[in-house]
């Protein structure tokens, strides 16, 4: 099976199936837990930025967007990549520097890409993907397609110039773009209130004459509905929107950060609203999932991650020859 | 061949590419309604409309970033950076994003982006609007870089830059915009990137120049007792190694003429390359003629002093040929600084 088909197949059923959304979120959590452990065990070198706690944002966006829409996202991107459709093997192999990784093992954790589901190379520079998404929306506008572009960035990016310039440009050109701020409460090691004078980043939309909405980022169905609404507006030629997903980063900023700056009790308060546990309960209450089905999904995902790890570990590392490729387009 | 000013040649190249390819679009400050502060986009809005020719806010990071996104997803944008210094606030998008997308997508994303910028001293704009800044960009793998030295190659190189599937920085010396010369239009006028032009043949010394220093070098070597070969590098990344080696193998002497501070200028790279390959063939040390390591001064006289002029270039080359040693830079001389 080719990588492109694998990604698309994984993606499409998120649209309507709630159990599929549960499975996608559970997969991200299992994947990130394992990646974090692998870094601590010294199985992978370099750094990584995991997204446990933010799974509903990734899956909600992927459920609402079309694979033909273009997405820019940050270096905290494993979850978005998986939700958009990239198989765990492709992502993990990239993190492990293997040739079968999405960028041939030359990018690493911060650099994933899969154009078959619209994911542009992920951005390791805070905010840089915001104007780039605006540009992808220009392409849709000039070519007259009903495509849209989505920029996913953190709360930290709301204070960098690219945020202002990208949103301003998208607004004056009425671009089919959706700007999604994943407010996980911390920009690197600093709490949001230390760096940002407004309670809601969504309020900044007013400066650009675009709608801004605060969304519960812990609820995948709510995220999906909000993104679907903004995308419909974009496709109808009504211009961009800013959505702020309130969510929480369970891990520290990166591999080296154990987040000692977190106030006592904060994690526990957020964990009560864990997006995966609450969704599991709700699906069972609503009759969309049985306990047994949930158990089968979880076992299937756990096996999939273990298989991916075994396969990636056995795969070839990128070679010296590889590192001289794709410097220039032919 | 029709004679054109260099700014007209730029506008003509843009128009010809836009006619050939509907994916070519333009973003920049004052380029549409006002047709560009240097009139390098005259007539384009009228012919191609506001979807393809877009005025932007004063927001280089925003519109250069948007151009990177547009280029990555199917358009072929040309961005105008009014004065090349303005790229400072947007450099991330060029050197960290655009330059690396092809690599970071395993070759599935290309960034056919052209970044045009006006460069250079001589018009009294002061030190924040008069640099050339090739040295900020030429050491970034993934980015190509070409510099116009007149209307003819402005047309030919710009069309090649737009057709290239990589990010290409295309620099236009402001001091040359008003200069007229014959321009070969159409396909046959396109000058491939990576090719130098031998603009004057000679046997005693190879003079390598770029941009506005090409006409300066040509003027410098006219009516001398020695015979200079003048090479217009045209493309700095990738530069034409073959043309340099062939010429220096013949002349045995290398001089670079650069409109940039001495330290970190492109001539250092060229000199190291040629000297490394042809050390035994050199009859004299390679000489770099550059600006001093200072800011571009404002006053007319000082600004001309700052720039390598034809008389100075001629004297430096003449001294090299006479003595076989490197003549001091003018600012190294006691009398001048006293």
Across the interface, which of A121, A140, A142 has its CB nearest the CB of B109?
A: A121
What's the total number of domains in chain A? 1
Indicate the residue of B62, B96, B166 with minimum beta-carbon distance to A169: B62
Q: Tell whether domain B197-326 is in CATH 3.40.50.920.
A: yes
Domain B2-189: state its class. Answer: alpha beta
What residues make up the domain containing A176? 13-311
Query: Span B127-136, mean pLDDT?
Result: 96
Chain A residues with CB-CB distance to B69 below 8 A: 70, 72, 120, 131-139, 149
Distance CA B215, CA B213 (A): 6
B142 chain-A contacts, CB cut-off 8 A? 327-328
Closest CA of chain B from A313, distance in Å: 20
Which among B25, B93, B142 has the least Cβ separation from residue A131?
B93
Phi, psi of A178 (to 5 degrees): -125, 125
Among A104, A166, A330, select the one facing B65 at the smallest CB separation. A166
CA dihedral B196, B199, B204, B209 (to 10 degrees): -60
Q: Can B2-189 and B197-326 be said to share one CATH topology?
A: yes
pLDDT of residue B285: 98
The answer to whether the beta carbons of residues B176 and B239 sit under 8 Å apart is: no
Quick check: is A99 in a domain?
Answer: yes
Q: How far is B21 from chain A (nearest CA, A)?
A: 13
Q: Is residue A8 part of a domain?
A: no
B229 CA to chain A: closest CA distance, Å?
A: 32
In a domain? residue A301: yes
The mean pLDDT of chain B is: 97
For B207-229, the pLDDT digits (tens) are: 999 999 999 999 999 999 999 99
Confidence at residue B338, expressed as pLDDT on a 0 to 100 scale: 56
Which DSSP letter does residue A74 get?
B
Identify the residue among A98, A111, A119, A326 best suited for mutation to test binding to B, counting B beta carbons within 10 A and taking the highest: A326
Domain map (residue ranges) of chain B: 2-189, 197-326
The answer to whether the Cβ–Cβ distance between B67 and A139 falls below 8 Å is no
Q: Are A121 and A132 in contact (CB under 8 A)?
A: no
Angle at which helices B60-72 and A161-172 cross, to 10°: 70
**Confidence at B249, pLDDT banded by 50, 70, 90:** very high
pLDDT confidence band for B337 (50 / 70 / 90): low
By CA distance, what is A142's nearest residue in B? B51
Q: Provide the pLDDT confidence category of residue B274 given band limits of 50, 70 and 90.
A: very high
Which residue ranges in chain A fall short of pLDDT 70? 1-4
B60, B134, B229, B259: which one is catalytic?
B60
Cβ A72–B111 below 8 Å, yes or no? no
Closest CA to A129 of A99, A159, A152, A107: A152
Residue A247 lies in a domain: yes
**A127: closest CA of chain B, how far (Å):** 10
Is B332 part of the annotated catalytic residue set?
no
Cβ <8 Å between B74 and A165: no
Of B29, B35, B129, B152, the active-site residue reads: B129
State the count of interchain CB pairs (< 8 A) between A and B: 150
**Alpha carbon distance A42, A46 (integer Å):** 10
**CA B127/CA B294 separation, integer angstroms:** 9
Q: Which residue has the higher pLDDT, B300 or B335?
A: B300
Closest CB to A326: pick one of B59, B97, B102. Answer: B102
**B129 tagged catalytic:** yes
Q: Are B231 and B207 contacting, i.e. CB atoms less than 8 angstroms apart?
A: yes
d(CA A71, CA B291): 45
Q: Is residue A185, in this structure, part of any structural domain at all? A: yes
Q: Which chain B residues contact residue A139 at CB under 8 A? A: 69-70, 73-75
Q: Does residue A322 lie within any of the structural domains?
A: no
Give exposure, A143-166, as e/b (b: 16+ Cβ within 10 Å).
Answer: eeeebbbbbbbbbbbbbbbbbbbb
Residue A135 is part of a domain; what is its CATH number? 3.40.50.970
CB B71 within 8 A of CB B113: yes
Tell me: pLDDT of B275 over 50: yes
pLDDT at A1: 38
Model pLDDT, residue B288: 98
Which residues in A lie closer than 8 A to residue B73 (C-beta atoms)? 70, 120, 135-136, 139-140, 149
């Amino acid at each position: 099976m080719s990588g492109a088909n694998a990604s698309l197949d994984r993606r499409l059923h998120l649209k309507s199936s709630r159990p599929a959304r549960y499975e996608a979120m559970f997969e991200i959590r299992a994947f990130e837990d394992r990646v974090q452990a692998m870094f601590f065990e010294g199985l992978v070198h370099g750094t990584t930025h995991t997204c446990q706690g933010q799974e509903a944002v990734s899956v909600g966006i992927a459920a609402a967007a079309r694979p033909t829409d273009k997405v820019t996202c940050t270096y905290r991107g494993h979850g978005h990549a998986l939700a958009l459709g990239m198989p765990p093997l492709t992502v993990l192999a990239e993190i492990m520097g293997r040739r079968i990784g999405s960028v041939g093992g030359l990018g690493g954790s911060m650099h994933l890409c899969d154009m078959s589901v619209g994911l542009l190379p992920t951005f390791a520079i805070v905010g840089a993907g915001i104007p780039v998404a605006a540009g992808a929306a220009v392409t849709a506008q000039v070519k007259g397609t009903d495509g849209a572009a989505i920029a996913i960035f953190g709360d930290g990016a709301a204070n960098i110039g690219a945020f202002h310039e990208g949103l301003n440009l998208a607004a004056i050109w009425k671009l089919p773009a959706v700007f999604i701020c994943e407010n996980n409460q911390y920009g690197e090691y600093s709490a949001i209130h230390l760096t940002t004078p407004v309670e809601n980043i969504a309020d900044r939309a007013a400066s650009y004459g675009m709608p801004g909405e605060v969304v519960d980022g812990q609820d995948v169905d709510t995220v999906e509905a909000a993104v679907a609404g903004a995308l419909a507006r974009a496709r109808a030629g009504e211009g961009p929107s800013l959505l702020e997903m309130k969510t929480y980063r369970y891990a520290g900023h990166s591999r080296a950060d154990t987040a000692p700056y977190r106030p006592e009790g904060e994690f526990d308060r957020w964990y009560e609203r864990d997006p995966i546990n609450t969704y599991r309960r709700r699906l069972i209450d609503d009759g969309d999932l049985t306990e047994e089905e949930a158990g089968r999904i979880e076992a299937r995902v756990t096996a999939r991650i273990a298989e991916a790890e075994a396969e990636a570990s056995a795969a070839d590392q990128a070679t010296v020859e590889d590192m001289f490729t794709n410097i220039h387009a032919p | 061949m029709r004679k054109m000013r260099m700014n007209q040649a730029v506008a003509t190249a843009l128009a010809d590419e836009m006619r050939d390819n509907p994916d070519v679009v333009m973003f920049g400050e004052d380029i549409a309604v006002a047709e560009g502060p240097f009139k390098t986009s005259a007539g384009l809005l009228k012919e191609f409309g506001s979807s393809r020719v877009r005025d932007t806010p004063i927001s280089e990071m925003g519109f250069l970033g948007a151009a990177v996104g547009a280029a990555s997803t199917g358009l072929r944008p040309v961005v105008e950076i009014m004065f090349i210094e303005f790229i400072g606030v947007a450099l991330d998008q060029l050197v960290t994003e655009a330059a690396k997308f092809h690599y970071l997508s395993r070759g599935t994303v290309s960034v056919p982006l052209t970044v045009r910028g006006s460069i250079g001293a001589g018009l009294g704009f002061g030190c924040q609007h008069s640099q050339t800044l090739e040295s900020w960009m030429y050491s970034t793998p993934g980015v190509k870089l070409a510099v116009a030295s007149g209307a003819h190659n402005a047309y030919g190189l710009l069309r090649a830059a737009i057709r290239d599937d990589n990010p290409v920085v295309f620099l236009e010396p402001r001091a040359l915009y008003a200069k007229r010369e014959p321009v070969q239009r159409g396909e046959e006028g396109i000058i491939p990137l990576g090719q130098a032009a031998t603009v004057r043949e000679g046997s005693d010394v190879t003079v390598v120049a770029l941009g506005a220093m090409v006409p300066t070098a040509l003027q410098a070597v006219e009516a001398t007792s020695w015979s200079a070969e003048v090479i217009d590098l045209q493309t700095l990344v990738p530069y034409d190694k073959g043309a340099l080696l062939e010429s220096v193998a013949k002349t045995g002497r290398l001089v670079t003429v650069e409109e940039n501070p001495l330290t970190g200028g492109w001539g250092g790279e060229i000199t190291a390359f040629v000297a490394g390959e042809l050390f035994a063939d050199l009859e004299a040390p390679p000489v770099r003629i550059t600006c001093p390591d200072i800011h571009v001064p404002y006053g007319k006289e000082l600004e001309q002093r700052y720039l390598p002029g034809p008389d100075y270039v001629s004297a430096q080359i003449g001294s090299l040929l006479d003595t076989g040693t490197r003549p001091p830079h003018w600012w190294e001389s006691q009398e001048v600084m006293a």
